[in-house]
Structure 1
């Protein structure tokens, strides 16, 4: 069945339906497991800079309420690469500052696979469980139609460039990286820029003002937006796609 609903993002901490993971005083890697893409450029393992695998795409899958960890485990058990972006949050416990992590987008899982692999995965999950709620399902591209059926939307996929940019941003261990909605954004310049120095170097997006601070906004799909922390004007330049 086609999905025609949207879930707006908020800028508060209520993004995870389960309990956030307490990581202690230091930030962990943004990778929940070794199956999650890395932003490093190592010759071995997975990197966001790798040459795209033939026929593989980044699929956006919707996860049923509160079960993103279970969904991720099932995807990895099938040998597929997936990514769960994390949000890093500062909290105080017994007077000490700690960093905890929680899923940034609690209703979505990103899977890097072929269309056939994803179709098989969703079918096997459906027939192998007796649960009323479907654990994983397609999230559809509401901006286009299927060639073989113009009345339906195709599954949403994210291009490698956009996904690499998103992974790079959400892998930075900074509690000021937040999901935002268009309602709270005050666009100052609106220009597409690339950050040239600092923690957010090489992130590209649109300049905006949020809570009185100049930030760079990365839009992944359907106005699902993530904002960097403050970025000074001198640390960015106009971004021209080649």
Structure 2
């Protein structure tokens, strides 16, 4: 890992909005077991604690363009838990700096539910009410295949451990947390580390150099990467030593 003096942020601030073409469909083999993370606010921000639950899992759903808020409301109206990571972005208006919030990943909604609940949600007839565009659809795991349908990919499910880490990072109110693509990263993702101090304490990820700064990148799934602000070398240790 290399350490550098803190430098001005120069990264492209555009939101990651990649939409790989899905080739799969839902299949029974996607119904894995997991624990239920519960999200509660406290003085330190957001804490995530796992409570055992064998039926609910974190599904990644694709949202049609510009409809993330509508999608969140639709899911919550069904009584399901969902998560929309927000971005805290600095903007200038009339010469004054302000911090605004906007969806960090506007093409994705994370829903904590059983496979049966997700199937029922996506079959709802009201899901295509706006210009006949599907509000929500499965995002598929392109790294595996259904046991009963070898040519199809199962729906993507995120482990509780990975989701806890992601929620921890994206719940921090820091405008320098940004979504990145491989083009933003100036060298290959390196050592896997744990941040040991500061506002990003306990975040796990890989070291990378982005916009002239040493940062830690959390990759939730292929193509979905979010970077911390600058992290000095002294504030991290190798993950396998933690």
CA distance in 1, matches of 2:106, 2:147: 31
- Would you tell me which structure has more strand in proportion to its own residues? 2
Cα shift at 1:78 = 0.3
Question: What pairs with 1:66-145 in structure 2 (closer than 5 Å)?
Answer: 66-125=66-125, 129=129, 131-145=131-145
Q: List per-residue Cα deviations over 1:67-92 (Å, max 9, x = no partner).
A: 01000000000000000011110112
Contact 1:204 1:218 in 2 (8 A): yes
Q: List per-residue Cα deviations over 1:132-177 (Å, max 9, x = no partner).
A: 1100000000110001111111000100111111110000001100
CA distance in 2, matches of 1:185, 1:173: 23
Query: Is structure 2 residue 50 aligned with structure 1 residue 50?
Result: yes
CA distance in 2, matches of 1:130, 1:186: 41
> What TM-score, normalized to structure 2?
0.80
Mark the CA change 1:190 to 1:14 in structure 2 (over 3 Å): closer, same or farther: closer
Cα shift at 1:211 = 1.3
- Relative CO higher for 1 or 2, CA cutoff 8 Å, sep ≥ 6? 2
Cα shift at 1:47 = 5.2
Count of residue pairs brought into register by the alignment: 211
CA distance in 1, matches of 2:93, 2:127: 44
CA distance in 1, matches of 2:147, 2:201: 39
Q: List per-residue Cα deviations over 1:24-47 (Å, max 9, x = no partner).
A: xxxxxxxxxxxx9636479xxx95
Match of 1:187 in 2: 187
Contact 2:16 2:181 in 1 (8 A): no
Mark the CA change 1:11 to 1:159 in structure 2 (over 3 Å): closer, same or farther: farther
Contact 1:37 1:82 in 2 (8 A): no
Contact 2:16 2:179 in 1 (8 A): no
Match of 2:39 in 1: 38
CA distance in 1, matches of 2:106, 2:13: 13
Cα shift at 1:186 = 2.5
Q: Show structure 1 runs of 5+ residues with no match.
A: 1-9, 17-35
> What TM-score, normalized to structure 1?
0.80
